[in-house]
């Protein structure tokens, strides 16, 4: 797979698939520009190399229809401010008028296409839509790690038809996950949380052959506890996966991998700021549910993390958005930041928790893609990365 620096971009139209799917305020302004900021280096690389940057992204879920509140104009304004140069926002992403506008753009300029998902052909991975996008460019750069687990037209079709490479952000994500999954410093600890154990079973199955310790929290912990015969009250339970959790625990023992489960919990009867709470454990009383790991569990997990040399964390330890149930996630974030481990934080809720508690600068890498990072940890090659590896000429008709 070529790197972006190996592509010739001077005098070329460069299609950059970015992930600019950011939250907007009620009055249509960008509420959080983190994802836009992460794309700046790649865009700047194109324009300083003398290419035309043709930037494409989706925003929200318009489901193949034009939704006025999901137009990319506010993103274009923020992008212009961050790049310190004009960004021309187009009203569509394909068609003769768009091709003409792109061809008329100046070298070193930035053009932002309209929301890709205004066309259902994008999420359908339609080859003709991919060909229409490809007509806008000479070179393709995928910098949208957070979308690369989706086989969508803008992710997989263009690199079939022209020289292609990952952008600087995607390249960093690939290198980071390759580093921890193929050559980690040991001890290697994985911290897994979140609501559903179903989401993490492929991750656990893959990591059992790679890590020394798996630390489990969040709602997913209660199905594991149920598998061990521990009472969980009315906590989250995926009853059909109890046997699967048992098999994973047995497999871990066979492989010599430690799986740590909560020994106490912040229990409540309702998820509210002013809710009654109790520290309960190891079991939970009838009518109560676990909403966070307890203080003894946080202490034990922190001690384990202090010994690690590599840590990957995907999924919060509790309902961190509500103050009484944020202590476990905060404690884990603090332990990782204080350790000497190389630390990788999965995207989504985990990244949000780390940033909320002020530990963003303490982590070695915070991934920009929750779902994408989860699939990489599961051992799945992302469609976007696989397409880059196959490269130009993979289309049935060859390059355009």
Q: Which of 44, 196, 210, 356 is the catalytic position?
A: 196
Q: Which of 108, 360, 371, 391 is the catalytic position?
A: 371
| pLDDT reported for residue 290 | 98
| pLDDT reported for residue 394 | 57
Residues 6+ apart with CB under 8 A from 279: 264, 265, 266, 267, 294, 295
**CATH number of residue 260's parent domain:** 3.40.50.1260
Residue 368 in tokens: 């920009």
| pLDDT reported for residue 400 | 29
Do residues 160 and 190 both lie within one domain?
no
Indicate whether 349 belongs to any domain: no
| pLDDT reported for residue 1 | 85
| pLDDT reported for residue 395 | 53
348 counts as catalytic: yes
35 counts as catalytic: yes
If one counts the domains in the chain, the total is: 2
Q: How many residues does the chain have?
A: 400
Do residues 194 and 52 both lie within one domain?
no
Indicate whether 30 belongs to any domain: yes
Do residues 165 and 198 both lie within one domain?
no
| pLDDT reported for residue 398 | 39
Indicate whether 179 belongs to any domain: no
Indicate whether 376 belongs to any domain: no
pLDDT in tens, 74-94: 999 999 999 999 999 999 999
Do residues 230 and 132 both lie within one domain?
no
Q: Helix-strand-coil percent breakdown of the chain, rounded to 5?
A: 45, 15, 40
Do residues 303 and 248 both lie within one domain?
yes
371 counts as catalytic: yes
Q: Which of 348, 369, 370, 384 is the catalytic position?
A: 348
Do residues 158 and 25 both lie within one domain?
yes
* Lookup result for tokens 């059909």: 240
Q: Which of 12, 13, 17, 35 is the catalytic position?
A: 35
| pLDDT reported for residue 148 | 97
| pLDDT reported for residue 359 | 95
Residues 6+ apart with CB under 8 A from 159: 140, 142, 387, 388, 390, 391, 392, 394
Range of the domain at 124: 4-170+382-390
Residue 261 in tokens: 């489960």
| pLDDT reported for residue 348 | 84
Residues of the chain short of pLDDT 70, as ranges, are 393-400
Do residues 114 and 195 both lie within one domain?
no
The DSSP string of 297-309 is: HHHHHHHHHHH-S
Do residues 194 and 156 both lie within one domain?
no
Residues 45-56 as b or e (16 or more Cβ within 10 Å = b): bbbebebbbbbb
Indicate whether 360 belongs to any domain: no
Indicate whether 399 belongs to any domain: no
| CA-based R_g, the chain, Å | 23
pTM (predicted TM-score):
0.92
């Amino acid at each position: 797979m070529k790197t972006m620096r190996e592509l010739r971009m001077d005098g070329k139209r460069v299609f950059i698939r970015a992930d600019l799917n950011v939250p907007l305020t009620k009055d249509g302004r960008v509420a959080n520009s983190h994802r836009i900021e992460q794309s700046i280096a790649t865009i700047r690389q194109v324009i300083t190399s003398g290419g035309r940057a043709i930037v494409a992204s989706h925003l929200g879920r318009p489901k193949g229809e034009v939704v006025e509140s999901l137009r990319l104009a506010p993103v274009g304004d923020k992008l212009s401010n961050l790049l310190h140069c004009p960004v021309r926002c187009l009203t569509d992403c394909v068609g003769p008028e768009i091709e003409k506008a792109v061809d008329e753009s100046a070298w070193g300029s930035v053009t932002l296409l309209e929301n890709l998902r205004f066309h259902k052909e994008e999420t359908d991975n339609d080859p003709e839509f991919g060909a229409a996008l490809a007509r806008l460019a000479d070179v393709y750069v995928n910098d949208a790690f957070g979308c690369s687990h989706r086989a969508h037209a803008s992710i997989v079709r263009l690199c079939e038809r022209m020289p292609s490479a990952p952008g600087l952000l995607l390249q960093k994500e690939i290198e980071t996950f390759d580093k921890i999954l193929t050559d980690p410093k040991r001890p290697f600890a994985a911290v897994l949380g979140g609501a559903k154990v179903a989401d993490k079973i492929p991750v656990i199955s893959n990591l059992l052959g790679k890590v020394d310790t798996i630390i489990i929290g969040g709602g997913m912990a209660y199905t594991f506890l149920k598998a061990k015969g521990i009472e969980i009250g009315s906590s989250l339970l995926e009853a059909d996966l109890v046997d699967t959790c048992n098999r994973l625990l047995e497999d871990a023992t066979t492989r010599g991998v430690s799986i740590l489960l909560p020994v106490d919990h912040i229990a409540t009867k309702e998820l509210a700021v002013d809710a009654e709470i109790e520290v309960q454990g190891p079991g939970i009383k009838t009518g109560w549910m676990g909403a966070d790991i307890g203080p003894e569990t946080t202490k034990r997990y922190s001690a384990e993390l202090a010994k690690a040399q590599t840590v990957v964390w995907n999924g919060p330890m509790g309902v961190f958005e509500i103050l009484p149930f944020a202590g476990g996630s905060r404690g884990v974030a603090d332990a990782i930041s204080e350790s000497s481990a190389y630390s990788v934080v999965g995207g989504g809720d985990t990244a949000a928790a780390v940033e909320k508690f002020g530990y963003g600068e303490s982590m070695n890498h915070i991934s920009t893609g929750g779902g994408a990072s989860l699939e990489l940890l599961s051992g799945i090659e992302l469609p976007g990365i696989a397409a880059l590896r196959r490269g130009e000429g993979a289309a049935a008709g060859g390059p355009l």
